[in-house]
Structures are given as C-alpha cells and as structure tokens.
Amino acid sequence: MMTASRKARRRDSAEVERAPANLPVPLLGARAGVPALAATAEGAAGDTLLQDLDMGFSAQMARITRGLSPIALAEAWADWALHLAMSPGKQVQLAVKGAHKMQRLASFMSSCALRPHDAAPCIRPLPQDRRFAHQGWQAWPYNVLSQSFLLTQQWWSNATTGVRGVTGQHENAVEFAARQMLDVFSPANFAWTNPEVAERTTATGGANFVAGWNNLLNDWQRLATGQQPAGAESYVPGEQVAVTPGKVVYRNRLIELIQYEPATDKVRPEPVLIIPAWIMKYYILDLSPENSFVRYLTGQGFTVFMISWKNPDAGDRDLAMEDYLRLGVMAAMDAVCAITGQPRVHATGYCLGGTLLAIAAAAMARDGDGRIASLTFLATQTDFTEAGELTLFINDSQIAFLEAMMWDKGYLDTQQMTGAFQMLRSNDLVWSRMVRHYLMGEAEAMNDLMAWNADATRMPYRMHSEYLRHLFLENDLAEGRFLAGGQPVALSDIRVPVFLVGTERDHVAPWRSVYKFHLTADTDVTFLLTSGGHNAGIVSEPGHPGRHYRIREAARDDGYVDPDRFLESVPEREGSWWPELVEWLAARSGRPVAPPPTGAPANGHPPLGAAPGTYVFAT
C-alpha cells in the first residue's frame, strides 16, 4: 500500500502539474506543500522571496559540491556510523578481519623476501579492476604497495556493508563514497609508486612528464574556453559522423524528424521510428558509416525515421515530461504516418527515449491507438527499483538540491551530468586517464564514440525534476501511477511484441533492471543480452571483434524466468546482435513495397533541409 506521506507527495505533485504555466517557479513550489507566511498577497510575496533565498543558497552550494547534496551524504554517513557504534559484534569482526589482513600482508612480504619473483599474491583485484595488470606490479616494492591497497580496500568494503539497521541506499552510498576516497590514494595514481610510469620515465629520460604537462595545459585551456577535447573536431556531424543521407521532414520547438533515404529498391511497408534519449545527441545511432545503426537498417530494407532533440536552454525550463511525450513521440508518430501513408510503425527507443516510448505505447494502448506494430527497447528501464549506482544520487534531499541548481539556470548543466557518469566509473574515466595522459604523456586517441560522448546536452528544469521524482524516486511507471494525458498508464496494457536489449556492463541501465520489464509486460517479449556497455554494447555492428549475445523469446503466456536462470539456460552466441533484430522485425512486417517519397508536401511535411538538420549543432 502507498504510505500517507507518499500519497501526500502524489497529491502535491499533481497540484504542481495542474498549476497554471505562467506562475513563477517559487510560487509553484509554495503550492507543493510549503506553508505560506500569510494569506495576504503581501505574505505570499514574502513567502516567495524567502523561497528564492533558499533556492539561491542551495544553488550556490551546488556549484561548490558539483551537485552532490552534503546533507544526503551526511545522512548516509550518520546512519552507518551510528549503527556501527551500536554493533559491538561487527566491530570485533572488523578488528579480527583487520588483524588477519595484516597477517596475510606480512606473510606475503616474507614470501617476497625469499622468492622475489614467485610470491603468490594474497589478494587479487576484481575482474573489472585493471589498475594493476602491468607486469611491473609483480615486482618488489610495487607488489607490496598494490597488495596493501587491495587489502585496505577490501577491509573498507567489509566495514561499510553488513551493518544491521543501515538502510540499503545509505549502505550503498557509504560504500561508494569510501571506494571513491580510497581510489584517490591508489598507488597506481602516483608517479613514484607506479612501475609503469617509472618504466616509461626511464625509457624516455623524463620526456613523458614534459608531454604530460603539455597535455594538462591543453586540457585546461580547452576547459576554460569551452572547447571539446582534442581530436573531437575531426568528427563533425554531417561530415565524418551522422552522414547517412536523409532529410529533415518535420520540426517543432523540441524535435527535428529525419527521414533517411532508402538504400534498397524495395522496403518493408512498416517504417521504423527511432526515439533516442535527449540526454545525448541522436547520432550515437548514426556514427561513422561502418558502425551506423541507421545505415544498417536502411541497408536491410527498412524506411527509417529518427528524432533529433533540441538541446534545451534557459528558455525551455518549463518543458515537462508531457511536452516530450506530445511534441516528441506523438508528433513524430503523426508525421511518420502522414508521410508514409502506413497505419502502423515499428517504434524503437534507446535509454531514456525508450522509457518515454514505453509511456507513449501504454498511453496509446489505453486510448485505443493501434499505430504501433512492434516495440524495440535498447538499454531501457521501465522499473527503477534496481537502477544501479545512479540511484546513489536519487533521494529527496539530493533531488531538492538538484532542483535548486536547475532552478538557478533553468536546466541541468552538461558538466554536472558528465561528472556524475564519470564518478560511477572513476577508475576507467578519471584516474586511468590521468595516469595515461599526464604521467605517461600519451596523447589521447579520439574515436567517433568518444567524440560523440563529449558532445553533451542539457536537461530542462521541470522535465528533469519530474523524471527523477516520478520515475526514479517513486517508480510511478512500473506501479501504474504515471500520468500521460492526465490519466495513469499501465505497461500491462501493451499488447504488441517487444524486443528488449540489455548490455552486460551497463552502469546507466543495468541489464537486470532492464530485464524487469518482464514483470510488468503482458505480451510477447524477446530479450537479448549483449556484450559491452551502455553505448558500445548498442553500437555493435556485424564484424565488430569480440562481440557475443544471448537471446530468448518468451510468449505472453510463458512462465517467468529470472535473470540468473536466463544466464544459466540460454547459450552464448558469437557476433553482432543487429541481424537478430532485423530478422525479428522482418517476421513482423509486410511484404516489401516501393519506398515512400521523402517528405509529403501535400500533407504538410515538405523536406526542410538535409540531415543531420540544425538542432544537432546547438551547444
């Protein structure tokens, strides 16, 4: 059952959504449960000014903390520390573990003295930890440094987990924060304790530090002037990336719709409409010609449309999730059907775009709109109860802090989002890069995926607040409370077949979280788990080395298979997953026909210019 406080929040949120759009933001906040100072206009004005003061103060604090709420962190640490203080058994256990680890380290050091090159390590790093993979870490004294660090890291993991009474989110936050702090002091991060850096310094006579210093100055200059990383200028949309031929056939204040030219004499009658996430530029799915998802689909005989989202600015602060639904998915759906003359569309959503597509599909099913022929969700979450380490930053305190920061600007800044994602993979995205770039003096090799990743976008204030509160915090979509068109939607209303893709190393949409769609679905679901991460796993063209996947089809009436049983029972297949999707779409499409024209001037959709359009260039 929904608690009384949650019901109150739902009621307050509904009041905000029903409030007139011309009300100032602080007054909207007052209607969301903040007590008024007085019933008079003068009192309301004073209330607004005081709320402005609170929001402004929080916004200034957010700049200092880079968007992390100090109160949320303090709550987590206090919860852990107080419960640990009341757990003498846990304290004794940690003392014993600490003594045992010191004994293991001492034994290892003795083995090193007797057999300098053959001493067996007392602890090995986790599979994803590649900091100590270099052979130099096997030699004294670097082996002792690495073993000491790993044992310390393991002890702190023991200390921050398994304390009775600590809430799950607080435990995860404390463990994450402890790991982040320890990573700062990893011996791999310092020139005098990293054998690989020492080896490079000896080989170059110290020239690596000169090159690293130049890299550091160049990075600071680019950061100060707002330039993209070095090498990104070699990947310009419309020139090196996003070059699949097409035309913009529709535009409104939020999207441009691109229709791609056919690459075959005949095409399947049902067009494919792709809804990418607006947290990223659309051309992740149209990178270089050899790894373009769009080009692959057109080459397989499909008519493809793609949404290119506008990069919002301060003037778009009041755009809501409903606007993204109405001006995004539904407007694009209307245009695609008007241009092609086809009554049904294969709809594909990626990441946050897939979540929005799921909302749209449920609303369309509720309203009897049968234009969707099938749904493909790429790394898409619809249930956010196991949304991975991103949930570390999602609670009432943290969201209020982010809202204050966005209120100040009207949007969530690109640097804030980039910083959050880098924290989740700090070893790979921060520390290892610093070692290579600044200590080893290596020039960073840019590629199309890295250049796209640096081409970040913003998130409007109201939409992002609604997204965090209603989806991440309250899980309204999975629990049947999310409103679309003023009425709740239920994912169980979706009856069209679904192709669901998860990626093995996804830190944004963990595949087990993606898999939870099975629990709310009432339709046929084909689930495919592919190698790679959130981006590289999706951009997995045929011929890409080292790719593999698992696939399982589940009919509507089949019993539930949990993720662990899925891994045990479904064999691994080598290669790209793209041909599987094409075969699945073809089986649910009509016989090939002549390609439709580009645009439909008679229906109000004349070509407006060549792809990639104009919105993709907004910075």
Do the beta carbons of residue 150 and residue 108 sit within 8 Å? Answer: no
Do the beta carbons of residue 297 and residue 582 sit within 8 Å? Answer: yes
**Alpha-helical regions (H) of 265-304:** 293-299
Give the tens place of pLDDT for each residue, 302-312.
999 999 999 99
Please give the Cα distance from 448 to 452 (Å, whole number): 6
Question: Nearest 5°: phi and psi at 425?
Answer: -130, 55
Please determine, for residue 34, whether its predicted confidence score (pLDDT) is greater than 60: no
Predicted local distance difference test score (pLDDT) of residue 242: 96
Question: Quick check: helix, strand or coil at residue 246?
Answer: strand
- The highest-confidence range among 19-28, 60-69, 563-572, by mean pLDDT, is 563-572
Rounded mean pLDDT, 431-435: 86
Predicted local distance difference test score (pLDDT) of residue 49: 75
Whether 94 maps to a domain, the answer reads yes
Please give the Cα distance from 146 to 194 (Å, whole number): 9
- CATH assignment of the domain containing 544: 3.40.50.1820
Tokens representing 532 are 């790679």
DSSP-assigned beta bridge partners for residue 309: 255
Please determine, for residue 530, whether its predicted confidence score (pLDDT) is greater than 70: yes
Predicted local distance difference test score (pLDDT) of residue 411: 82
Please give the Cα distance from 270 to 186 (Å, whole number): 54
Please determine, for residue 17, whether its predicted confidence score (pLDDT) is greater than 80: no
Please give the Cα distance from 89 to 535 (Å, whole number): 44
Q: 384 with 500, same domain?
A: yes
Q: 511 with 378, same domain?
A: yes
Instruction: Give 427's pLDDT tier (boundaries 50, 70, 90).
Output: low
If you ran DSSP here, which 8-state letter would residue 39 be given?
A: S
Instruction: Give 409's pLDDT tier (boundaries 50, 70, 90).
Output: confident
Question: Nearest 5°: phi and psi at 158?
Answer: -65, -40
Question: Nearest 5°: phi and psi at 526?
Answer: -105, 115
Please give the Cα distance from 72 to 398 (Å, whole number): 6
Whether 574 maps to a domain, the answer reads yes
Give the amino acid at 327.
L
Residues in the chain: 619
Helix axes 207-225, 195-204, angle to 10 degrees: 110
- 22-31, 237-246, 291-300, 575-584: range with lowest mean pLDDT: 22-31
Give the tens place of pLDDT for each residue, 496-512.
999 999 999 998 899 99
Residue 143, C-beta contacts closer than 8 angstroms, at least 6 positions apart: 108, 112, 119, 121, 137
Whether 382 maps to a domain, the answer reads yes
Q: 276 with 159, same domain?
A: no
Report how far Cα 591 is from the mean position of its chain's Cα atoms.
Answer: 37
- The rounded radius of gyration (Å) of the Cα atoms in the chain is 26
Give the tens place of pLDDT for each residue, 316-328.
999 999 999 999 9
Question: Quick check: helix, strand or coil at residue 184?
Answer: helix
Give the tens place of pLDDT for each residue, 249-298.
999 999 999 999 999 999 999 999 999 999 889 999 999 999 999 999 99
Please determine, for residue 227, whether its predicted confidence score (pLDDT) is greater than 60: yes
Q: Catalogue the E-assigned strands of 379-497.
A: 411-412, 459-460, 483-484, 487-488
Arithmetic mean of pLDDT over the chain: 88
Residue of higher predicted confidence among 416 and 443: 443
Place of tokens 């509160």: 469
Q: 365 with 502, same domain?
A: yes
Predicted local distance difference test score (pLDDT) of residue 327: 97
Whether 344 maps to a domain, the answer reads yes
Q: 496 with 358, same domain?
A: yes
**Which helix (H) or strand (E) segment is 459 a member of?**
strand 459-460
Domain count, the chain: 3
Residue of higher predicted confidence among 480 and 9: 480
Question: Quick check: helix, strand or coil at residue 47?
Answer: helix
Q: 254 with 342, same domain?
A: yes
- Provide the 10 A C-beta neighbour count for residue 168: 8
Rounded mean pLDDT, 398-425: 71
Give the tens place of pLDDT for each residue, 91-108.
999 999 999 999 999 998
Predicted local distance difference test score (pLDDT) of residue 329: 98
Q: Would you please indicate which residues are annotated as catalytic (active-site) residues?
A: 351
Percent of the chain with pLDDT over 70: 87
Please determine, for residue 553, whether its predicted confidence score (pLDDT) is greater than 60: yes
Please determine, for residue 15, whether its predicted confidence score (pLDDT) is greater than 50: no
Q: 118 with 34, same domain?
A: no
Q: 276 with 332, same domain?
A: yes
Rounded mean pLDDT, 596-616: 95
Residue 578, C-beta contacts closer than 8 angstroms, at least 6 positions apart: 293, 296, 540, 541, 542
Whether 205 maps to a domain, the answer reads no
User: Which of 136, 166, 185 is a domain's end point?
Assistant: 185
Instruction: Give 68's pLDDT tier (boundaries 50, 70, 90).
Output: confident
Q: 273 with 181, same domain?
A: no
Please determine, for residue 243, whether its predicted confidence score (pLDDT) is greater than 60: yes
Please give the Cα distance from 598 to 619 (Å, whole number): 28
Tokens representing 466 are 């609604």
Whether 4 maps to a domain, the answer reads no
Predicted local distance difference test score (pLDDT) of residue 166: 95
DSSP-assigned beta bridge partners for residue 588: none
Instruction: Give 428's pLDDT tier (boundaries 50, 70, 90).
Output: low
Enclosing domain of residue 27: 9-15+23-52
SS (H, E, C) 568-585: HHCCCEECCCHHHHHHHH
How far CA 254 is from CA of 276, 515, 603, in Å, comes to 13, 30, 20
Q: 271 with 354, same domain?
A: yes
- 99-113, 298-312, 523-537: range with lowest mean pLDDT: 99-113
Please give the Cα distance from 93 to 378 (Å, whole number): 44
Residue 178, C-beta contacts closer than 8 angstroms, at least 6 positions apart: 156, 157, 159, 160
Do the beta carbons of residue 198 and residue 135 sit within 8 Å? Answer: no
SS (H, E, C) 303-351: CEEEEEECCCCHHHCCCCHHHHHHHHHHHHHHHHHHHHCCCCEEEEEEC
If you ran DSSP here, which 8-state letter would residue 429 be given?
A: I
Tokens representing 222 are 């680019």
Please give the Cα distance from 534 to 548 (Å, whole number): 15
Whether 586 maps to a domain, the answer reads yes
Residue of higher predicted confidence among 117 and 497: 497
Please give the Cα distance from 461 to 348 (Å, whole number): 26
Instruction: Please compute, for residue 278, the number of CA atoms within 13 A of its CA located in the half-sphere on the CB side.
Output: 31
Q: 95 with 35, same domain?
A: no
Predicted local distance difference test score (pLDDT) of residue 27: 31
Predicted local distance difference test score (pLDDT) of residue 373: 98
Q: 90 with 129, same domain?
A: yes
Instruction: Give 32's pLDDT tier (boundaries 50, 70, 90).
Output: very low
**Alpha-helical regions (H) of 504-551:** 511-515, 517-520
Instruction: Give 35's pLDDT tier (boundaries 50, 70, 90).
Output: very low
Whether 414 maps to a domain, the answer reads no
Please determine, for residue 161, whether its predicted confidence score (pLDDT) is greater than 50: yes
